[in-house]
């Protein structure tokens, strides 16, 4: 039996073992998938030990995605662009393939599950940390008309604009800089919801949007989704679907089988409610 784990700190809350157990049952692939707590200063040794004990692959979560990028020995294009890794596939001679399935997970949830094609849309992405940078390339690959990155610290958004400028139409700035623009979709990639806070986005930015998406998953509406609702946006989504879709993409990389996700998303929503 192949051994997999999700590694992070904290990790007790992780839903990945549940999701991968569902995929394994559904596809008949025989795996063990556990949650592994790594001390904050011992990510690398935790990975090495897991591998020595027969590990085949890993998912990596907060706060280790950047360290995971450094530890990989080769990268997929999307991991290279994000400079962050959430999936390891162990290869011969101590090689590690690093992938990042977060962005494609978000895109699949929005386009397929929520039936919201991204081509030609105006997208506002709020936040310029690791969560935001991980999803920019897959979003641009859907050829939106504009991807605007708004951040409290505008220099970080401008740096992302420069980093991804060759991949599509992308702008970076402070929230205020985008007043006067019209957006179809607003995505919250800040960590504000974790602190029950709302990013300082002026209400005008929400005026024409039809979908608000919080990348965080939560048992109740986040302050961002509550605000979006109060501004008349009717389609609201949290990151539950993204979580299952990024897991499905890791599962595909490891086992060459794409599991179905709708049933697992429904089960996970039921678990979380
Ligand atoms: P992550 O890996 O989750 O993206 P991070 O790299 O620490 O975490 O980035 C957190 C992001 O959330 C940043 O864009 C941060 O804005 P700053 O760059 O200005 O710090 C944003 N953020 C966190 N709390 C916020 C809040 N209350 N309002 C607005 N933005 C917030």
Same domain, 108 and 233: yes
- CA of 128 from ligand 1 middle (Å) equals 7
Q: Residue 42's pLDDT band (boundaries 50, 70, 90)?
A: very high
Q: Is 52 a catalytic residue?
A: no
Atom from ligand 1 closest to the CA of residue 131: 4
Same domain, 126 and 144: yes
Q: How far apart are CA 16 and CA 12, in angstroms?
A: 10
Residue 194's pLDDT is 87
Same domain, 191 and 79: no
CATH number at residue 145: 3.40.50.720
Q: Enter the tokens of residue 100.
A: 């990042």
- CA of 190 from ligand 1 middle (Å) equals 5
Same domain, 128 and 77: no
Same domain, 191 and 203: yes
Same domain, 245 and 232: no
193 lines ligand 1 (CB under 6 A): no
Domain with 203 in it: 103-238
31 lines ligand 1 (CB under 6 A): no
Beta bridge partner(s), residue 6:
35, 59
Interface ipTM > 0.90: yes
* Percentage with pLDDT > 70 across the chain: 100
Residue 126's pLDDT is 98
Contacts 24+ apart (CB under 8 A), 168-171: 168/140, 168/141, 168/143, 168/144, 169/140, 169/144, 169/145, 170/136, 170/140, 170/146, 171/146, 171/147
Same domain, 166 and 216: yes
- CA of 210 from ligand 1 middle (Å) equals 24
Q: How far apart are CA 148 and CA 163, in angstroms?
A: 13
Number of domains in the chain: 2
Mean pLDDT of the chain: 97
Mean pLDDT value across residues 38-64: 97
Write out pLDDT tens, residues 56-97.
999 999 999 999 999 999 999 999 999 999 999 999 999 999
Residue 221's pLDDT is 93
Mutate to test the pocket of ligand 1, among 86, 190, 217 (most ligand atoms within 8 A of CB): 190
Catalytic position from the list 52, 65, 89, 121: 65
Mean pLDDT value across residues 97-116: 98
User: CB within 8 A of 50, min separation 6: which ones?
Assistant: 3, 5, 7, 36, 58
Same domain, 140 and 72: no
């Amino acid at each position: 039996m192949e051994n997999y784990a999700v590694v992070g700190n904290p990790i007790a809350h992780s839903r990945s073992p549940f999701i991968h157990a569902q995929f394994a049952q559904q596809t008949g692939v025989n795996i063990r998938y556990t949650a592994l707590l790594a001390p904050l200063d011992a990510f690398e040794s935790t990975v090495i030990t897991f591998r020595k004990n027969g590990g085949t692959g890993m998912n990596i979560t907060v706060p280790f995605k950047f360290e995971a990028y450094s530890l990989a020995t080769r990268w997929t294009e999307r991991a290279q662009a994000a400079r962050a890794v959430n999936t390891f596939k162990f290869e011969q001679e101590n090689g590690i393939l690093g992938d990042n399935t977060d962005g494609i997970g978000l895109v699949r949830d929005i386009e397929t599950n929520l039936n919201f094609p991204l081509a030609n849309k105006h997208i506002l992405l709020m936040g310029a940390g690791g969560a935001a940078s991980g999803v920019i390339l897959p979003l641009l690959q859907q050829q939106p008309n504009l991807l605007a990155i708004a951040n409290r610290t505008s220099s970080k958004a401008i740096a992302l604009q420069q980093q991804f400028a060759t991949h599509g139409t992308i702008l970076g700035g402070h929230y205020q800089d985008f007043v006067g623009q019209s957006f179809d979709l607003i995505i919250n990639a800040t960590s504000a919801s974790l602190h029950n806070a709302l990013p300082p986005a002026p209400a005008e930015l929400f005026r024409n949007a039809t979908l608000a998406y919080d990348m965080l998953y939560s048992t109740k509406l986040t302050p961002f989704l509550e605000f979006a609702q109060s501004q008349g946006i009717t389609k609201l989504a949290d990151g539950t679907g993204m979580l299952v879709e990024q897991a499905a993409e890791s599962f595909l990389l490891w086992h060459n089988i794409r599991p179905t996700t709708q049933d697992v998303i429904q089960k996970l929503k039921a678990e979380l409610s």
